[in-house]
């Protein structure tokens, strides 16, 4: 009786996944949002029946997705299925921060595998193709503006954009990690209300103001910053590895800075609009983001929060 119930529930969730997959593929705009709900059937099945049976569900979903889509649908099923399993595992253990970290890693791993597979077996390089399109757009814009402005001024204005594109080639791993983290956060935000509606017992995520990263991150960041200054030969693997570590660690340091601003605002009893305004403004004013990075380093290295709490 129990096996029949598991099979029935598995069939219903696979059907739900296939409907969501087709919706995400063929319905514009809304389909993009639905894309991040694709892990939900696998999250639910993991919460109820564990990891082992959910991997069987992913296998079945991969086979059936070929019938309703194409051979490439297998990559979709594996990507969102693996993310659903990992996130469901941490939901079950009531480790909500683990949901975000594990989901980010699962998304990132799946995208890297899909990227390598597409490059090896289909000779498709999504990253390089995107960069080539951007280069073409820049060159076309440059030609149009040259008829209105002096060539020297145009070259100076576009030099920074061209340097940014060159750097983007080295930052492919960081791009994957960033997309993975954003995908995990969106999936979590969409899944939580649905899972609560289904009466799953989930642990709430700590408020952002209480997030405190390991103190060791600031030392890793400082060491990587020094290594980056020592060797700036862009043609080496060393540079690629260091520059990616630098940007990833810098993201964590900045996030810590924002967390401290939210904490300070909470302790002082300020309106939530204040830290949110600072958050938005920092992306419009580069110098502000630089100051927040310094604040993140200070917050990681010194016990500022403890002193504020005592006051």
**Nearest-angstrom CA–CA distance, 38 and 20:** 6
pLDDT at 310 over 60: no
For the purposes of burial, counting CB atoms within 10 Å of the CB of 220, is it exposed (0-12), middle (13-18) or buried (19 or more)? Answer: middle
Give me the residue spans of the domains in the chain. 2-124+172-197, 126-170, 208-310
**Max Cα separation, the chain?**
79
pLDDT at 176 over 80: yes
CA neighbor of 256 nearest in space, from 222, 188, 209, 303: 209
**Nearest-angstrom CA–CA distance, 62 and 118:** 17
Q: Token pair of 151, please?
A: 């060539």
CB of 282 closer than 8 Å to CB of 288: yes
Q: Token pair of 189, please?
A: 């935000």
Q: How confident is the model at residue 40 (pLDDT cuts 50, 70, 90)?
A: very high
Q: HSE on the CB side for 86, CA within 13 Å? A: 23
What is 2-124+172-197's CATH topology?
Answer: Arp2/3 complex 21 kDa subunit ARPC3 (1.10.1760)
Is 207 in a helix, a strand, or coil? coil
**Nearest-angstrom CA–CA distance, 145 and 240:** 33
Rounded mean pLDDT, 47-70:
83
pLDDT digit string, tens, across residues 104-151: 999 998 888 777 777 777 777 777 777 777 777 766 766 666 666 655
**% of residues, the chain, pLDDT over 70:** 86
Residue 277 has φ and ψ, to the nearest 5°, of: -65, -40
Direct distance between the N- and C-terminal alpha carbons of the chain, in angstroms, rounded to an integer:
61
The whole-model pTM stands at: 0.81
**Nearest-angstrom CA–CA distance, 238 and 137:** 30
Q: How confident is the model at residue 281 (pLDDT cuts 50, 70, 90)?
A: confident
With vertex at residue 18, the alpha carbon angle to CA 36 and CA 45, rounded to the nearest 5 degrees, is: 70
Q: Residue 200's pLDDT is what?
A: 86
pLDDT at 1 over 60: no
pLDDT at 190 over 80: yes
Q: Residue 188's pLDDT is what?
A: 92
pLDDT at 230 over 60: yes
Q: How confident is the model at residue 187 (pLDDT cuts 50, 70, 90)?
A: very high
């Amino acid at each position: 009786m129990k096996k029949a119930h598991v099979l029935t529930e598995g069939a219903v969730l696979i059907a739900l996944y296939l409907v969501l997959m087709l919706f995400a593929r063929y319905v514009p705009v809304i389909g993009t949002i639905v894309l991040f709900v694709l892990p939900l059937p696998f999250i639910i099945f993991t919460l109820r029946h564990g990891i082992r049976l959910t991997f069987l569900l992913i296998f079945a979903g991969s086979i059936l997705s070929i019938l309703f889509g194409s051979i490439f649908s297998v990559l979709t099923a594996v990507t969102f299925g693996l993310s659903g399993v990992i996130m469901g595992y941490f939901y079950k253990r009531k480790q909500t921060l683990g949901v975000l970290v594990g989901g980010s890693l699962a998304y990132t791993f799946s995208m890297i595998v899909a990227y390598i597979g597409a490059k090896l077996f289909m000779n498709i390089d999504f990253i390089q193709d995107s960069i080539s399109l951007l280069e073409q757009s820049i060159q076309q814009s440059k030609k149009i503006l040259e008829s209105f402005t002096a060539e020297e001024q145009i070259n100076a204005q576009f030099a920074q954009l061209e340097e940014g594109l060159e750097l983007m080639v080295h930052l492919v791993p960081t791009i994957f990690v960033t997309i993975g983290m954003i995908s995990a956060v969106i999936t979590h935000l969409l899944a939580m209300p649905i899972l609560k509606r289904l009466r799953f017992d989930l642990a709430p995520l700590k408020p952002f103001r209480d997030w405190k990263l390991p103190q060791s991150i600031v030392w890793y960041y400082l060491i990587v910053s020094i290594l980056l200054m020592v060797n700036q030969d862009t043609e080496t693997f060393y540079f690629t590895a260091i520059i990616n570590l630098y940007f990833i660690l810098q993201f964590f340091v900045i996030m810590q800075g924002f967390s401290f601003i939210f904490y300070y605002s909470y302790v002082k009893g300020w309106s939530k609009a204040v830290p949110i305004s600072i958050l938005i403004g920092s992306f419009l004013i580069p110098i502000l983001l630089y100051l927040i990075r310094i604040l993140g380093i200070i917050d990681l290295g010194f016990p500022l929060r403890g002193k504020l709490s005592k006051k």
